[in-house]
Amino acid sequence: MSAFDFISHESYPEDPYIAESVVICFEGKYRFTYIRKKMQNGGMFWDVISAAVRYRGEKKYIKSFSQDSNFLRDDIVHFLDSRSWETGGSFAKKSDELSF
């Protein structure tokens, strides 16, 4: 059984802030979207969708999804960076491969 599976991918060549999005299903139950954000210096990075709000006079970002493990986030970003959905669509680690 895989930890997460690819659902869909979309590119946005005309958008100045978002390059692409990928929908992933986690544990066969939960779907969430990662987007590849464009920075002003030309760099790009993967992150979940977030909303900017003003709170007590400061700008704050609320993320649409957060995981309780940095290992899971690292695995997801590796999956996205390596474009694994183009070659297989799912990802799983055996328990003896998990980094603790």
Listing DSSP states for 2-15 in one string gives -SEEEEEEEE-TT-
Spans of the chain, pLDDT less than 70? 1-2, 88-100
Nearest CA-CA partner of 82 in 46, 49, 39: 46
What pLDDT was estimated at residue 96?
Answer: 36
Domain ranges of the chain: 4-88
